[in-house]
Amino acid sequence: MLRPGTSARPGLPLLAASARPRAVALVACCALFVTVLGVLVAHQTQPDPFDRTVDAPVISWLAGHQGIALWLAFPASTIPAASLSAVIVIVCLLARRPNGAVLAALAVPAVAALNDGLLKHLFHRTYLGLLSYPSGHTATMSALATTLTVLLIIPPHPGRASVLRRLISAAACLLTIVVALGVIGLRWHYLTDTLAGAAEGVATVGTLVLLLDLPFAKRLLDRMIRSTRPAGQESHHDHRPAAASP
């Protein structure tokens, strides 16, 4: 992200041009993983042998400690997820990265809509009678972790991310694992539900990043920013020729 106090650069992409082919490949692999695994577990009502190898020890470990399991799953619940999204949006706006703010605002709603509106009904896997594939909690935390990774340690121009940025991103990724353990311990999801949820979060945010970096999206965002500025207060950058995207 840009430093607070610098001029807005709506045209600055979220990804460098060299990183976009890899981002497309990652999105495709994650989407394929969710689809293939979903076909394999579709309409199941019991864990498969792979699930049992992890689910049983986690459930036993958290047996009688439901409060701990609830706290493990809590970061991906509605209020904390929305709060973290809002913080990221505000920081991006202060750093004059409007496309980052849009990404942070859309990431969690997009993954929730995809999960609850399509995938769970499409594959119809259940756990104790409730739709479980993919795990919405894990998908939400994965989407937030991926958003932070894109904004903090995958810059649009070459450079090294600071240690603090890497630690924040790593902490978010670790929270994704913690949330997955929590929902398994609560018997809300099987292991494979959480794996698919993590892949879903990456694929959803990756798709949003690629869309926001398209020329028409950048032009639209640029027009929206200009329309909100008071007359006569345009940045001096507005009068410069647009810089070519990397």
Q: Is the residue at 129 inside a domain? A: yes
The whole-number average pLDDT for the span 166-179 is: 95
Question: What DSSP state is assigned to residue 211?
Answer: H
Q: Is the residue at 86 inside a domain? A: yes
Q: Is the residue at 22 inside a domain? A: yes
| Three-state DSSP string of 12-43 | CCCCCHHHHHHHHHHHHHHHHHHHHHHHHHCC
**Residue 88 structure tokens:** 């990221």
Q: Is the residue at 245 inside a domain? A: no
The count of other CB atoms within 10 Å of the CB of residue 147 is 29
Q: Is the residue at 173 inside a domain? A: yes
Query: What's the number of CA atoms in the CB half-sphere (13 Å) around residue 60?
Result: 6
Query: Which residues contact residue 166 at a Cβ distance below 8 angstroms, ignoring those fewer than 6 apart?
Result: 152, 153
Q: Is the residue at 150 inside a domain? A: yes
pLDDT at position 5 over 70: no
Alpha carbon distances (Å) from 176 to 42, 77, 173, 187, 239: 24, 12, 5, 17, 44
Residue 159's pLDDT band (boundaries 50, 70, 90)? Answer: low
Range of the domain at 145: 17-223
**Residue 246 pLDDT:** 36
Residue 93: closest CA among 214, 8, 220: 8
Residue 160's pLDDT band (boundaries 50, 70, 90)? Answer: low
131: β partners: 126
Q: Is the residue at 195 inside a domain? A: yes
* % of the chain residues with pLDDT over 90: 71
Q: Is the residue at 10 inside a domain? A: no
Distance CA 235, CA 197 (A): 42
Average pLDDT, the chain: 87
Residue 135: closest CA among 205, 208, 191: 191
Domain count, the chain: 1
pLDDT at position 137 over 70: yes
pLDDT at position 243 over 70: no
Residue 235's pLDDT band (boundaries 50, 70, 90)? Answer: very low
Q: What is the pLDDT of residues 28-44, one digit of tens each?
A: 999 999 999 999 999 99
